[in-house]
């Protein structure tokens, strides 16, 4: 039996990458912390102020994200507090965060309801992401399948 790295509990589905990812970062606060880290939050107080999260919950989620290698901590010279930074693994969640954002833009708001927008360095709204096959054609639930092990 394969177990999760932090709790010793069995993976939800040990052969499914989606299930393993959800086991690691699928909890609400974890993804919002990663989102805010991508937006420049580095200090405990940054995350707490942006999220309005209780200190004990934030402490636990930051610890788990560090244990899973998604965030790393450093203490600046002369500093007393940790600085949290995304690792390569954490930065690699960018496409996941963008996919969730774009799904939310399409399905979590009423027509015409105001919401934030993700823009590129020129201020243009980021293009909609869609999975594509090796030939560049859009892949959908009708044209893709999971090969089980």
| DSSP per-residue letters across 65-99 | HHHTTSEEEE--TT--S-EEEE-HHHHTTHHHHHH
Taken in order 116, 120, 124, 127, the sign of the CA dihedral is: negative
Instruction: Report, as an integer, the average pLDDT of 9-36.
Output: 89
- 117 vs 11, higher pLDDT: 117
Does the pLDDT at position 1 exceed 60? no
Residue 112 pLDDT? 92
Any domain includes 144: no
Per residue in 103-129, pLDDT (tens digit) is 999 999 999 999 999 999 999 999 999
Residue 90 pLDDT? 98
Within 10 Å of residue 64's Cβ, how many Cβ atoms?
20
**For residues 89 and 48, is the Cβ–Cβ distance under 8 A?**
no
d(CA 55, CA 78): 24
Q: What does the mean pLDDT of the chain come to?
A: 92
- 5 vs 99, higher pLDDT: 99
Instruction: Report, as an integer, the average pLDDT of 61-89.
Output: 93
DSSP state of 142: T
Residue 81 pLDDT? 86
Any domain includes 126: no
pTM of the model as a whole: 0.86
Any domain includes 146: no
Does the pLDDT at position 141 exceed 90? yes
DSSP state of 149: -
CATH of the domain at 54: 1.10.10.10
d(CA 17, CA 148): 11
Residue 5 pLDDT? 63
The total domain count for the chain is 1
Any domain includes 102: yes
Residue 39: which domain range? 17-107
DSSP state of 134: T
Residue 10 pLDDT? 73
Residue 14 pLDDT? 82
**For residues 61 and 90, is the Cβ–Cβ distance under 8 A?**
no
Any domain includes 38: yes
d(CA 102, CA 80): 38
Residues 6+ apart with CB under 8 A from 138: 130, 131, 132
């Amino acid at each position: 039996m394969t177990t999760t790295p932090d709790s010793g509990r069995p993976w939800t589905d040990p052969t499914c990458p989606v299930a393993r990812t959800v086991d690691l970062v699928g909890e609400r606060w974890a993804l919002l912390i990663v989102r805010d880290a991508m937006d420049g939050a580095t200090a405990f107080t940054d995350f707490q102020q942006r999220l309005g999260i209780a200190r004990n919950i934030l402490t636990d989620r930051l610890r788990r994200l560090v244990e899973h290698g998604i965030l790393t901590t450093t203490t600046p010279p002369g500093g007393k507090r940790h600085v949290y930074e995304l690792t390569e693994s954490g930065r690699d969640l960018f496409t996941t965060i963008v996919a969730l954002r774009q799904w939310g833009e399409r399905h979590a708001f009423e027509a015409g309801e105001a919401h934030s927008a993700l823009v590129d360095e020129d201020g243009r709204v980021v293009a909609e992401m869609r999975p594509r096959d090796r030939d560049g054609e859009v892949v959908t639930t009708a044209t893709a399948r999971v090969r089980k092990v």
